[in-house]
Amino acid sequence: IQQLQNLLTQRGFYTGPISGIYGPLTEAAVRRAQAAYRLVVDGVAGSRTLAALRSGAPPVATVPTPTPTPAPTPTPPSQLSRAEILELQALLRRGEFYTGPIDGILGTQTRTAVAAVQRALQLVPDGQPTPTLLATLRQNVPAAGSNVAGGSGGSTPTPAPGGSGSNVSVSPTLELQQLLAQRDFYVGPLDGRNNEALTAAIRRAQNWYGLTPADGRPSSELIARLQTDRYAKVS
């Protein structure tokens, strides 16, 4: 399958990942190649299709090259106020990522803890806290049952930052993107955000599994099919 995907990529029919999975993106590329070489368009990479791709001859029909969508220019993260850094440190401690003082100073320990959270959420681990990250922690870290300001009284040992007992969860949207990407439905960024690429990938998966309506909205049935699909990519 990887050799087929490489051939399709070299001939300009396929722009997805070389995953070794014969999913809907690969099948669509095979159909485009068959149409271009004036073969039977059935989505099956048979001997004639492979021979045409290996020949290196230009296709009979012209296949338009997809125009890449320019990536949006990232907005520099806003600096948090001292009060927000104090809150961030408290949340990081409750989430079991931080063992340092709650002092409102964005020092090495705090940045290391922020990077650990970013890795847990599959974000770029640059150690730079942002209002978005702070909002995510507010939503995902359980409320404090006791004072977290690090008083001098008796304390319970705090687990190591980012340990297996972490209380920060990965967003459902990010998990869905990962499932779709592992099964050759999604080729967009794994950023936990709803976007047009994710909606299109959901529709492809719904059509592939015969789920109706194919409206691009996630459902428990779709997620169950993705989780049990035996063609899942093994990393």
| DSSP secondary structure letters along 55-111 | H-PPPSSPPPPPPPPPPPPPPPPPPPPHHHHHHHHHHHHHTTS--S--SS---HHHH
Give the pLDDT confidence score for residue 233 in this predicted structure. 47
DSSP letter assigned to residue 122: T
Domain extents for the chain? 2-55, 76-169, 172-228
Instruction: Say if CB 25 and CB 197 are below 8 A apart.
Output: no
Residue range 92-106, pLDDT digits in tens: 988 778 888 988 888
Domain 172-228, CATH among 2.60.40, 2.50.20, 1.10.101, 1.20.1630: 1.10.101
Question: What does the alpha-carbon distance between residue 14 and residue 32 come to, in Å, rounded to a whole number?
Answer: 9
- State what percent of residues in the chain have pLDDT above 90: 26
* Closest by CA position to 4, among listed 40, 39, 43: 43
pTM tops 0.85: no
What class is the 76-169 domain? mainly alpha
- How many CA atoms does the CB half-sphere of 34 hold within 13 Å? 17
Q: How confident is the model at residue 82 (pLDDT cuts 50, 70, 90)?
A: confident
State residue 158's pLDDT score.
Answer: 37
Model pLDDT, residue 165: 46
Tell me the per-residue pLDDT of 148-181, one tens digit each, with 9 for 90 and over.
334 434 333 333 344 444 555 556 888 888 888 8
What token pair was written down for 67? Answer: 């125009």
